[in-house]
Structure 1
Amino acid sequence: MSKRSLASRSSVPRKKKTKLETHQQSRLDSFFNNSRQRSSSGPSNKGEAAASSGTTAAVTDDAFPLTAIARDEAYARLLADEDGLTLDVLLRLEAEASHKSPLPTTNGKPEVIDVDMLDDDEQPVAGPSNRAIEKSIADHRIESPPASSQPYKSTKPAFSSDSPNILPTYESLCIDPTAFDPGSLDWSPNSPIPYSFLAHTLSTLSATKSRIAILNILTNCLRCISRYHPPSLLPALYLLSNSLSPPYSPLELGLGYSIILKAIQQLSGLTSAALKRLYTVTGDPGDLAYEAKSNVRTLIPHPPLLITGVYESLLKIAFSRGQGAAKQKQAVVEKLLVAARGEEIRYLVRTLAQNLRVGAVRTSMLTALARAMVLTPPSQLEVSVPTDSPFHAADLLSAVKPLPSNAKKKVSDPARDELNEKFAQAEALVKKVYVQHPNYDHLAKALLEAGLDGLTERLPLTVGIPLLPTLGSPTRSLDEIYDRLGFLPFTAEFKYDGQRAQVHAAREDGSSSQIKLFSRHLEDMTDKYPDVCTLVETIFAQSPNIQSFILDAEIVAVDPVDGSLKTFQELSNRARKDVQLDDVKVTVCVFAFDIMYLNGEILLGKPFRERRSLLRSQFPPIIPQHKSAARFDHVRSCESEDGREAVEEFWQTAVNSRSEGLMIKLLDSGEILQEPTAKKDKVRRKPLPATYEPDKRTSAWLKLKKDYVIGLGDSLDLVPIGAWHGNGRKANWWSPILLAVWDPDAGKLVAVCKCMSGFTDTFYKALKERYPPDSETCAREPRWDPECDTGGLKPEFYFKPQEVWEIRGADVTISPVSMAAYGLVSKTRGLSLRFPRFIKEREDKGLEDASTPQFLARMWESQQGQGKDLGGVDEGELVDVIGDTDIEEESSGD
């Protein structure tokens, strides 16, 4: 029996490095290896021709007398001891080690590289080996920068102060928006916004984790853009959110990492080996490009990059298809990098690598956009904002008092209070519209044309555009459900083990139909279910009065003969793209449980009882004659008015079936009495609406899963984020595995416990194949989005967060090392799960669907209320007690 203690939390701050999400690491290694072979073949014809003409097309042998091997050795020796190496220092070391002068100079300044003359075949010229670099390393050792949470940055500016490549300076965006004057910028009205301003914004965002500061920065940025050049607003929204199109659009950048590396290599003239060593120092593609270009200048200055131009270039990359697409994409990337200056380089490459990591999540973007529209309405509005509008704030700004320097000191300010009310109204409006119509293209156009007042009318719920679904709150027992809902009437429905789907359909011209199917993450999966599309055509044929609808449903695999339920694993065996009707092998049934739109009428505001009545009356069940065709049915349900015994019996039916449990839904809106949390608090009435609430985890929808129920064990949905090497017979596998909850407020994962039980030998082997050491999914340092807070739990290797596992534990306990739910139940400690056990993978869930710290805290509070003896806190000692026999027995239950 072996034990593994958790690492104690160190008081010394640990340096964090921002690293690329290396989802194509194997291609990266292949690129470097292939490039190394090419560089050893000698100088290219173009390089020789440029040298003979007297133009410095790339650094020649006189400047770089060392071979690629010698340079690799220099990098290896320097990087083994110090992280503070910058590219200019390395170049000087190489030149001095060869007993030659440093880089060629012109008028006392280093001679520049004409990157305009570089092409795909050009490589730096290699010279004879020179071992004298060792002495030079010892003579020029530099100190490492102090440990910092900021990404690696060179202490040397990219260009000299008189260089035309220096970016313009901007005012700080991190100030209170009421004190920020967007008119202070020296820009001409209706002139395109330079990309340098967006790079300044991104740089400022990356330097803070404060939510208030992030909102201020985004708000001030969007105010400036909408004031001076409204057409730049939409590209800015996409670039700040690191996306190209709406979430349901199939458009993707499709840019391989090798293309980015080739473009950087062409720009800098570095060998692939030198580029790889520099990447080891920086750990981030943006920092790599920034350092690689720090000694590169074009002979002819390029026009400044524009926000609109950068976005159009990204679209050009995304639309490149067919033969020669890779070269087309690389050409676009090279043009962008050549024209980029200073911080533009860093954030342009991070955008290309789709790894911005600046904390501008969707909620922050929408909040900032709403505030920007209140403070600085676009100048091109069709009508001016009326003074009686709830969003008119022109008269308030001059009356708002400056914020006190002491953040703890509160000053009475009626004008600021009124402005905050307008902010709240605007934020609620923008978020409400977006969750029903998640499309930045339409949102920006409507705001620029009509402002906030006309937003709802211009962007209604629309067939063909998915809305964000309502989410259920987990509960752990029927007793808890009755406690939370009181005497309000509810219905209990089967929670099927399938794939949630929104079904959008509308007749066109009385004949053809528009049909779209969307997943819970708004992905278009119409091509995946041609049999469901045929089912919709059947619904239209049988119901002439139905012209359009949006249904919320669960697509479940069923037996083609009797319609009995099958598992989600069987449903996942279906092909996912471009499925033909004749190729369908797994029969499905569409179990509809809600309707949000019918014949042009939006039903979101109606109570669930009324919506369900319309669903059942207008959409009868369909069992087609053809056995492989999709079926249509309503979910099985039981009403609370039938009595608690009936509900409990229905629950037992669900437990014995292949469903996941029950969904409890409030039938009519009402109120419940909320118990005070402190002695001085009063009993409050909490409203519970039975309306459809997009993108909300509401108490009107409660989910009761089999594994949530007391007596069956506690269950959470956790994300594997790291692991340690196993001991004994598990030495070749990962054991234990570090698991995390999802913190939606911070936008990051937080480690909660280590798990080593419930896994089969087959699962262990598959896990090692998915997460091999030092690969695209497994590294010694965290390098992926979202950020992971491991607290005192430091794994040997970090996993790329990409899976959700269902985990059951004995109980929730206070932990001195876990940061999960830190401050929610204890001011000094977090919560952990004791004796966690793996149940199954949740392929239907994304990272943001994982259990939250709030849910973990509620589980702990529920335990306390039941008087469970926790037996002391979790000190982080986990014992690997499971044997071979136990593992094989568990495989049948998975």
Structure 2
Amino acid sequence: MKRSLTTVGKPSTPRKKKAKVETSHQSSLDTFFGSPGQKRPGASSGKGKAKLSAGITPVVSELTALERDEAYARALAEQDGLTPEVLLNLEQRASQKAAIPTMSGQPEVIDVDLLDDDDEQPVAGPSKPYTAGTSLLGKPSSSTSSQPPSRKITKPPFSNEIATKSAPTYIPLSIDPTAYDLDGLDWSPNAPIPYSFLTHTLSSFSETRSRIAILNTLTNCLRSISRYHPPSLLPSLYLLSNSLSPPYSPLELGLGHAIISKAIQQVSGLTSAALKRLYTTTGDPGDVAYEAKSNVRTLIPHPPLLITGVYDSLLKIARAQGQGATKQKQAIVEKLLVAARGEEIRYLVRTLCQNLRVGAVRTSILTALSRAMVLTPPSLLSEGIPDTSPFRISPELLSTVKPLPSNSKKKTSDTARDELNEIFTKAEALIKKIYVQRPNYDHLASALLEAALDGLTERLPLTVGIPLLPTLGSPTRSLDEIYDRLGLLPFAAEFKYDGQRAQIHATRTEGQSLKIKLFSRHLEDMTDKYPDVCTLVNTILLQSPNVQSFIIDSEIVAVDPNDGSLKTFQELSNRARKDVQLGEVKVSVCVFAFDLMYLNGEILLEKAFRERRTLLRSQLPPIIPTQKGAARFDHVQSCESEDGREAVEEFWQMAVNSRTEGLMIKLLDSGEVLQEPTAGKDKIRRKPLPATYEPDKRTSAWLKLKKDYVIGLGDSLDLVPIGAWHGNGRKANWWSPILLALWDPDAGKLVAVCKCMSGFTDVFYKGLNERYPLGSDTCAQEPCWDLECDTGGLRPEVYFKPQEVWEIRGADVTISPVSKAAFGLVSKTRGLSLRFPRFIKVREDKGIENASTPQFLANMWESQQGQGKDRGGVDEGELVDVIEVGETDIEEELSE
């Protein structure tokens, strides 16, 4: 069994140990250089242990701590050839309960039995043994004797490697994949991949904003891992995406920042105050750990961390439960930090904090994975890729592709590359289609390694119990716009209920037992949250003997239990979230079903909405259960365009007057619409509009018409708070104004659009301070999160972690020289902003990627211009048209 000894950090094995004395680094030095005969904290008796050479007592009483350190180092070095660096290792070991020579005349020992057991340490490779004629640093000894030093230690030698300077180097990954040399890594086949290679990939991301370079880096990384060690592919996908498991899995890291902070203290020897000063300077826990460990040296060199080992350690942390879970988690974190080197330290801590800052988004990972599988088919395949495969690239074709620089944006004439890109496109479409129907990297990686791209469809079909990503609707602002976009194609208008979207899976097993799962819009498993809905689904299956299994899309809405009338979303949000018992349900709900994606083993995604809706209504009729507390089941209230525009307009007024958010407009049958000629083109284009269910797509076949989107009811956007300034006057202790941003799906980043300081209550401000306290993991002086935020010409005093979506209403959309939102869509030199923005509410049902887009803002501008509402003119610099002066809140007056 291996044992490791580190500079600082407590053993995690259940050995009998002496009580540890908490001391600062300086107090340890002072104690170490105490008066002769003074016993140091943690010193062992030395009975029965291998003894060190005789103690040394240099004259140090009138020297400073640093001078005493140097004097003792020289004295000890003169005795047996040890360098000052090794002495510093010995001094630092005092906090680990291993004995170090005192200044008394009596020798002390190193108790090797107190060293950690590393049977669970995620590292590999033997430590370098001691050989005669070398110093304990592995360098030629200054002694002329051929005998080893007099310190008889049977463990591996000490090392004065500085942690942040000992990581290996790798070839660049951002080069064109066709020119990437897989053999340049010099790895052994089937040998586990070092974690440093993954951190090299992540570090490469931070050096560029080029999408081409990022995709090249990801592709080459995954190709290398897939070829040399396929078992490392799955952990790599999760570590790159800053996750541990599928989104519907209940597995969470559950690692508090206090544990991470204590682990860094143990490993670095720094005090809590010192770490806080580092965090104030750097603003990032990963940078803090990197700096804290920059001068830490290990007594025994640790083998490298492995990708599989790091991921397994994270799983152990996530699964740790019980009374001793906190200590167990901290021990695992300490072991990882002790073994980490160089950039590993930075990205390991960021992973532990679940904030990589440069993590790859899902689309990029899937794109890179598909390209990697095309260029480097898995080595686990028992048979090669068949010549008839649409994803096969012949060596002859690959050899004729001209490599491109990673930052090249110019299109060159290359027939071979065009052919390669066509294959890439097919592979990307396949993997993305499979993933949105089955968002599970475990299943995807396993299927790819076993059957490559050709076998994915058969191996990974849509399955009951595994959620698919939902179809999303595109916002519109009026019924006129809807008729313009859909032309004469028939559509259904449905109430857009103000509730929680739910994807319901149900199936009968062979023993007639039932399995039921409920998933949220973000695929979180919320089965335990709605026992009343589970009871309802059980009733549906019992009353419908012809239905064996189904997947439906629905909205769970709070209702009056007596008459079924609608209630607000706020009342629904008052329900408990976990482990709810049926008898404890106080807010009754109704499940309004609006789509059917799977029925009795048949996948319905490719069928038109009209057919899916007919099956839903015929096979799953409405139910009002008699059991107390059980939920209701009904179909969404709807109206069809075939009934005439007058009927649709009347239905719209019903939605406006009811407790709904508006309407959802859904194309009933697939068709085509005519589009006007664009700039530089004189032909009318035909745009196909499929009425199929499109997972994870904001399709034009689904349009949403919300009350707040409609002209005459006020302009509304869904924006993300990304930063703030310190308030003035009465708001001096609060964040005000708040910088808000749009979500740009093409660039994969947030773009600032306006500052908002109106519509907030004092209670909301206080809650905002609690959610975004300065110096926490949600509020920092520099942006330090995965999502890139383009703040344009403004620099907020603090940055918020993008995690909320707010509904904001404004007076006008205005052209701004500061904002980058919708840049180029309306003006070639300026972006758009919102005048007089006012906070409406927090959209708890929406994620960051569901926020309003630059195109939506541009559409608002164009509609405003068409209505002659160009009152705002041009925003001359600020992203907000109100300011605070002393104790007066001018925005209150302006808003009225």
Question: What TM-score does the superposition give when structure 2 sets the normalisation length?
Answer: 0.83
Per-residue deviation, 1:762? 3.8
Q: Contact between 1:114 and 1:298, CA under 8 Å: does it hold in 2? A: no
Q: Equivalent residues in 2 for 1:429-508 (5 A)?
A: 429-508=430-509
The letter for the 2-side match of 1:834 is R
Deviates more, 1:769-778 or 1:267-276: 769-778
Gaps of 5+ in 1: 1-33, 68-93, 128-158
Counterpart of 1:718, as a letter, is: L
Aligned residue in 2 for 1:418:
419
Q: 1:380 to 1:43 in 2, by over 3 A?
A: same
Choose from 18, 36, 49 the match for 2:43.
49
Would you say 1:330 and 2:330 are equivalent positions?
yes
User: 1:839-850 residue pairs with structure 2 within 5 A?
Assistant: 839-850=840-851
In structure 2, C-alpha distance between the alignment counterparts of 1:221 and 1:38, rounded to whole Å: 40
The answer as to 2:878 corresponding to 1:879 is no
Greater mean alpha carbon deviation, residues 343-352 or residues 245-254: 343-352
The corresponding residue for 2:838 is: 837
Q: 1:201 to 1:774 in 2, by over 3 A?
A: closer
SS in 1 for 2:660: coil
In the TM superposition, residue 382 of structure 1 has moved relative to its aligned partner by: 3.4
Alignment partners' CA distance in 2, 1:789 and 1:96: 50
Alignment partner of 2:85 out of 110, 130, 134: 110
- The separation in 1 between residues aligned to 2:322 and 2:444, in whole angstroms, is 33
Q: Extract structure 1 runs of 4+ deviating beyond 6 A.
A: 34-42, 50-56, 60-67, 96-107, 118-125, 159-165, 881-891
Query: Which shows bigger deviation, 569-578 or 251-260?
Result: 251-260
Partner of residue 169, structure 2? 169
Aligned to 1:527: 528
Q: Closer, same or farther in 2 for the Cα pair 1:867/1:194, shift >3 Å? A: same
Structure 1 counterpart of 2:597: 596
TM-aligned CA deviation for residue 775 of structure 1:
4.9
How far off is 1:657 after superposition?
0.1
Cα deviation, residue 118, structure 1: 6.8
Post-superposition CA distance 1:208-264 (Å, at most 9, x none): 221111110110011111111111111111111111111110111111222222222
Question: 2:52, 2:812 → 1: CA distance?
Answer: 72
| One-letter code aligned to 2:85 | P
Structure 1 residue 611 corresponds to structure 2 residue 586: no
- 1:768-806 Cα offsets, whole Å, 9 max, x none, are 444455555444443444333222233333333332111
* 1:337 to 1:727, Cα distance in 2 relative to 1, 3 A: closer
Separation of aligned partners in 2, 1:497 and 1:63? 76
Which residue type is aligned with residue 740 of structure 1? A
Could you tell me which amino acid in structure 1 is paired with residue 315 of structure 2? L
Task: Give the RMSD, CA atoms, in angstroms.
Answer: 3.5
Partners of 2:72 and 2:482 in 1: how far apart? 79
1:344 corresponds in structure 2 to 344
Asked whether the equivalents of residues 209 and 359 of structure 1 are also in contact (C-alpha less than 8 Å), the reply is: no
Residues 888 and 496 of structure 1: CA distance in aligned 2, closer, same or farther (over 3 Å):
farther
User: What is residue 31 of structure 1 aligned with on the other side?
Assistant: none
Deviates more, 1:578-587 or 1:306-315: 306-315
How does 1:755-834 map onto structure 2 within 5 Å?
755-773=756-774, 775=776, 777-834=778-835
Cα drift, residue 175 of structure 1: 0.3
CA contact (8 A) 2:43 2:99 kept: no
Instruction: Give distance in 1, aligned partners of 2:820 and 2:844.
Output: 26
Q: 1: CA distance between counterparts of 2:408 and 2:682?
A: 26
Q: Is 1:701 aligned to residue 702 of structure 2? A: yes
**1:652-663 aligned within 5 A:** 652-663=653-664
Q: How far apart, CA to CA, are the structure 1 residues paired with 2:58 and 2:323?
A: 36
Q: Deviations over 1:72-108 (max 9, x none)?
A: xxxxxxxxxxxxxxxxxxxxxx837999799987666
Q: Does the 8 Å contact 2:503/2:520 carry over to 1?
A: yes
- The one-character-per-residue Cα deviations of 1:346-373 (angstroms, maximum 9, x if unpaired) are 2222222222122411100000000000
Deviation at residue 195 of structure 1 after TM alignment:
1.5
Aligned counterpart, 2:297:
297
Letter in 2 for 1:198: L
Retained in 1: the 8 A contact 2:94–2:100?
A: no
Judged with a 3 Å threshold, the aligned counterparts in structure 2 of structure 1 residues 258 and 64 are, in CA distance, closer, same or farther, namely farther
Q: Which residue of 1 aligns with 2:379?
A: 379
> 1:95 matched to which residue of 2?
66
Evaluate the alpha carbon distance shift between residue 115 and residue 873 of structure 1 in structure 2; reply closer, same or farther with a 3 A threshold.
Answer: farther
Contact 2:359–2:786 (Cα < 8 Å) also in 1: no
Task: Say yes or no: does 1:250 pair with 2:246.
Answer: no
Q: CA deviation at 1:48?
A: 5.1
The answer (yes or no) to whether the contact 1:123–1:271 under 8 Å persists in 2 is no
Aligned counterparts of 1:624 and 1:66: Cα–Cα separation in 2: 86
Quote the residue 1:12 is aligned against.
none
Kindly indicate whether the alpha-carbon contact (under 8 Å) linking 2:163 and 2:296 is maintained by their aligned counterparts in 1.
no
SS of the residue 1:671 aligns to: strand
The change in CA–CA distance for 1:342 and 1:711 in structure 2 (over 3 A counts) is: same
SS at match of 1:594: strand
Query: Any conservation in 2 of the 1:717–1:806 contact (CA below 8 Å)?
Result: yes
2:270 matches 1:270: yes
Q: Distance in 1 between matches of 2:555 and 2:704?
A: 15
Q: What is the distance in 2 between the residues matched to 1:680 and 1:690?
A: 28
CA distance in 2 between counterparts of 1:866 and 1:885 reads 29
1:134 maps to none
Rg comparison, structure with higher value? 2
After superposition, residues 198-237 of structure 1 pair within 5 angstroms as 198-237=198-237
Partner residue in 1 for 2:671:
670
Contact residue 253 and residue 317 of structure 2 kept, 8 A: yes
Q: Distance in 2 between matches of 1:653 and 1:573?
A: 27
Judge conservation of contact 1:760–1:888 (CA < 8 Å) in 2.
Answer: no
| Contact 2:191/2:229, CA 8 A, preserved across alignment | yes
In 2, the alpha carbon distance for the partners of 1:889 and 1:208 equals 43
1:736 aligns to what SS in structure 2?
strand
Equivalent residue of 2:720, what SS?
Answer: strand
Task: Pick closer, same or farther for the CA change 1:347–1:765 going to 2, 3 Å.
Answer: closer
* Partner amino acid, structure 2, of 1:500: R
Instruction: Quote the residue 2:718 is aligned against.
Output: 717
After TM superposition, give the deviation of residue 187 of structure 1 in Å. Answer: 1.4
Residues 429/294 of structure 1: CA separation in 2 closer, same or farther (3 Å cut): same
Output the amino acid matched with 2:211. R
Q: Secondary structure at the match of 1:590?
A: strand
CA distance in 2, matches of 1:406, 1:288: 32
Q: Does the Cα contact within 8 Å between 1:723 and 1:734 map onto a contact in 2?
A: yes
Q: 2:754 matched to which residue of 1? A: 753
Q: 2: distance between equivalents of 1:646 and 1:64?
A: 97
Q: Is the 8 A contact 2:44 2:98 kept in 1?
A: no
State the secondary structure of the residue aligned to 1:878.
coil
Q: SS where residue 392 of structure 2 aligns?
A: coil
Q: Which whole-Å CA distance do the structure 1 matches of 2:239 and 2:41 have between them?
A: 37
Which residue identity does 1:393 align to in structure 2?
A: I
* Alpha-carbon separation, structure 1, partners of 2:419 and 2:332: 48
- Equivalenced residue count is 798
In structure 2, the residue matched to 1:196 is: 196
Q: Distance in 2 between matches of 1:163 and 1:657?
A: 64
Q: Cα deviation per residue 1:594-629 (whole Å; 9 max; x = unaligned)?
A: 000000000000000000000000010001123532
Q: TM-score, normalised by structure 1?
A: 0.83
| Distance of 2:562 and 2:332 partners within structure 1 | 55
Partner SS for 1:276: helix
Query: How many Å apart are 1:811 and its aligned residue?
Result: 1.9
Unaligned 5+ segments in structure 2 are 1-20, 33-38, 104-158
Name the counterpart of 2:150. none
Identical-residue share of aligned pairs (%): 77
Specify whether residues 723 and 667 from structure 1 end up closer, same or farther in structure 2 by C-alpha distance, changes over 3 A only. Answer: same
Aligned to 1:473, the other structure's residue is in SS state strand
Partner of 1:569: 570
Question: What CA distance in whole angstroms lies between the structure 1 residues aligned with 2:73 and 2:831?
Answer: 56
Corresponding residue of 2:390: 390
Superposed, 1:632-647 pairs within 5 Å as 632-647=633-648
Partners of 2:680 and 2:23 in 1: CA distance: 71
Tell which deviates more after alignment, 311-320 or 268-277: 268-277
1:191 offset after TM fit, Å? Answer: 1.4
Deviation at 1:742, TM superposition (A): 1.7
Which moved further from structure 2: 691-700 or 332-341? Answer: 332-341
